[in-house]
Structure 1
Amino acid sequence: MINNDKKIKPGILYFLKKFAIFVLSVIILSVIVFWISRLTPTDPLQSYYGERTEKMTVEQKAAAREKLGLNDPIPVQYVRWIEEAVRGDFGISYKYKQPVLAVIQGRAGNTIILGGIGFLLTFAGALAVGMLCARHKGSIFDRIMCKAGTFSSCIPEFWLALVLILLFCVTWKILPSSGAYTIGKESSPADRIRHLILPMLVIVLGHLWYYAYMIRNMLIDEEKKDYVLLCRSKGLKRNQIMTRHCLRNILPEYISMMAVSVPHILGGTYIVEMVFSYPGLGTLSYESARYADYNMLMVMCLLTGIIVIFSNMLGQIISEQIDPRVHI
């Protein structure tokens, strides 16, 4: 029993350390975001009161700032925000005049659908393309894919989105250019799919080749190992070796790569949402920064930061399990 306890303790300490680093990172992020947002020249009263701000007297503006707690020193404002956040109260959105979590809840589903499906399609396609290129290494197909993929990965996502809008929405008029659905057709799956096609296409094309090229190179390197020669000597065909052995051996690295790539694809999703005016967390983040919606900005930055930090830590944990030499 004593030996078993000694084996368990390092695992517990390992995850406690990771959890402590995660919490500390989130706290540091919250302090930085809170401090910087308060130093911006944008007036939050304009976001809260709109055009009425221009008609307000100096006394009325001072009273409004006092009501919103903006006259207190920044450290006092931060401590008050933390105390309320711990109780689950993240404040009211200055722009939407609704609880912050209620606004986010109405937008999160759209981003999860767009980013989640885009993420799955990107890595499913990357795995398929990477395997095909590795299987036909040096062929015309492989050379064409490498050159075309390199070219496509260099195209900025916002520019590609604008080109697709010009072709499919303006010139051919076969797909919608913005929004998540047509007004009055919120419950129509077909209409929502039509609105997803172009944003999804931009996300997949913007990331697919980068990961496909990495998978291709991993498979090619795997084929150079000694066990592959042993498999060939036993009469196994190349396709069997690649799918049964090489692919299985790179799966841990593939999963680690998927975890680390979440911030990359999430950032691309946010950009695509803004170009297509897609009502998701990306457009909400932009609006919160533009209109100095402090409460919304804090939650959006923390939510995005938590996803990024967690994904990177997950990728690091997987990498450490694969190769203990990278353990920190």
Structure 2
Amino acid sequence: MIKKSMLVEKITRRTIGFVLTMLILSIGVFYLSRLAPGDPLQSFYGDAIESMSTEELDAARIRLGLDSPVYVQYVKWISNAFQGDFGLSLKYKMPAMAVITPLIGNTLILGGIAYILVFALATLLALFCAMHEDTLIDRIICKVGTAAYYIPPFWLGVVLVLIFSVNLGLLPSSGAYSVGKSDDILNRIQHMILPLVVMILSHLWYYAYMIRNKLLDEIRKDYVLLAKAKGCTKTEIVLKHCFRNVAPTIVNIMAISIPHVLSGTYIAEAVFNYPGIGALSVQSAKYHDYNLLMLTVLITGVLVIASSIIAQSVNEVIDPRIKLMEESP
């Protein structure tokens, strides 16, 4: 009964924290977006705004709800948001949710695959380097990985397009799929290859290096010497003991890396003209499309905060000591 009440208390506490964080995020973005220079009416009316009179501009602001004080606009927006209405996209002249819905899947697929590949490859690479510490192959991987990490993703994307799309004609240079082939999985995979390569190369060594160092710190602990004295091989020690002890740290790294990987997704979408919420968020900020910007930021915030909560829960399963520390007075 006590464990059940503690579980309910924990879920309630995390839910309240999640809601408060999203509320603070929405307030910050709402106010900051309106402090940016520029007129949102430009997005809605385009060049026609130049021929509009002052009276027509004032009437337009009233119709779009831009005439009220910012706090009044926010209260109205948040009230509608709780009912599933996130407002009208000023640029696309349709509900913001209708604009973003077809693109969410593209970003989640691209970002999700990149996220899994980055950490799977980073973990394998870290394990390999840790088991071959200070050998020639370890030094080569460290130098090549460091050099690859510092290559600008935008420049790397352009180079890959020139080589594999323009010169060799092997891979498509833009889009999520070819015209009329939205249901062709193979075609979608071909369009994701270059963006994935850019995202993996720009993130792989950063996380592999962190995991490698954590493993090396673990390998130098006293219990490893005892395991060696008992006749355990280095592979057994690293995989069965060190890696298990480092696993909670890896999960934490994976959780806090969500914004980093998402930013890489946004860059890849911009370079390869890949239709997703990353490119859409940049456009919404550029054109002062407030409602669309709010929705894209909130979706990103939900992904980041939810991943942190999930990572903490997974850590408690992997390492019960974390749970005991929370429950101790």
TM-score with structure 2 length normalisation? 0.91
2:116 aligned with 1:120, yes or no? yes
Distance across 1 between alignment mates of 2:314 and 2:259: 16
**Partner of residue 100, structure 1:** 96
Tell me the C-alpha RMSD between the 2 structures: 2.2
The CA deviation string for residues 174-199 of structure 1, in whole angstroms up to 9 with x for no partner, is 22221111212222222211110110
Q: Residue 254 in 1 paired to residue 250 in 2?
A: yes
Other structure's SS at 2:48 match:
helix
Among residues 177, 181, 189, which one is paired with 1:181 in the alignment? 177
The corresponding residue for 1:295 is 291
Alpha-carbon separation, structure 1, partners of 2:81 and 2:119: 36
Match of 2:68 among 64, 68, 72: 72
Opposite residue 145 of structure 2, the aligned amino acid is: G
- The code of the aligned residue for 2:21 comes to S
* Matched position secondary structure for 1:133: helix
Q: Is contact 1:48–1:97 with CA below 8 Å preserved after alignment?
A: yes
Identity %: 50
Distance in 1 (alpha carbons) for counterparts of 2:200 and 2:126? 14
Once structures 1 and 2 are overlaid, which stretch shifts more, 141-150 or 302-311? 302-311
Letter in 2 for 1:87: Q
Q: 1:108 and 1:326 mapped to 2: Cα distance?
A: 38
C-alpha separation between the residues in 2 aligned to 1:190 and 1:13?
47
**Counterpart position of 1:227:** 223
Deviation for aligned residue 1:9: 4.3
The SS at the match of 2:88 is: coil
- Residue 84 in structure 1 maps to residue 80 in structure 2: yes
Match of 2:164 in 1: 168
1:19 to partner: Cα distance: 2.7
Per the alignment, residue 36 of structure 1 pairs with 32
Q: Which runs of 5+ in 1 are unaligned?
A: none
Letter in 2 for 1:65: R
Matched to 1:258, the amino acid is M
- CA deviation vs aligned residue, 1:150-187 (integer Å, no higher than 9, x gap): 11112222222122222222333322221111212222
**Aligned partners of 1:263 and 1:311 also within 8 Å:** no
Alpha-carbon shift at residue 71 of structure 1 (Å)? 0.8
Q: Give the aligned residue type for 2:113.
A: I
Amino acid at match of 2:185: P
Check whether the contact 1:320–1:327 (CA below 8 A) recurs between aligned residues.
Answer: no
Distance in 2 (alpha carbons) for counterparts of 1:230 and 1:40 = 61
> Which amino acid is the alignment partner of residue 284 of structure 1?
L
Letter in 2 for 1:58: T
Partner of 2:268: 272
Deviations 1:287-323 (A, max 9, x none): 1111111110111112212322333455566668856
SS in 2 for 1:179: coil
Separation in 1 of the partners of 2:304 and 2:199? 18
TM-score by length of 1: 0.91
Cα deviation digits, residues 209-263 of structure 1 (max 9, x gap): 1111112122222222233233323322221222222222222221221111111
Shift of 1:49: 2.2
Distance in 1 of aligned mates of 2:181 and 2:307: 35
Counterpart-to-counterpart distance in 2, 1:126 and 1:179: 28
Letter in 2 for 1:138: D
Change (3 A) 1:318 1:192: closer
> Which residue of the partner structure matches residue 132 of structure 1?
128
Give the CA deviation at 1:44: 1.6
Q: Which moved more, 1:220-229 or 1:87-96?
A: 220-229
| Residue identity matched to 1:216 | R
Question: Would the aligned equivalents of 1:126 and 1:211 in 2 still touch at CA under 8 Å?
Answer: yes
The answer to whether the Cα contact below 8 Å between 2:251 and 2:315 also exists between their aligned partners in 1 is: no
Aligned to 1:213: 209
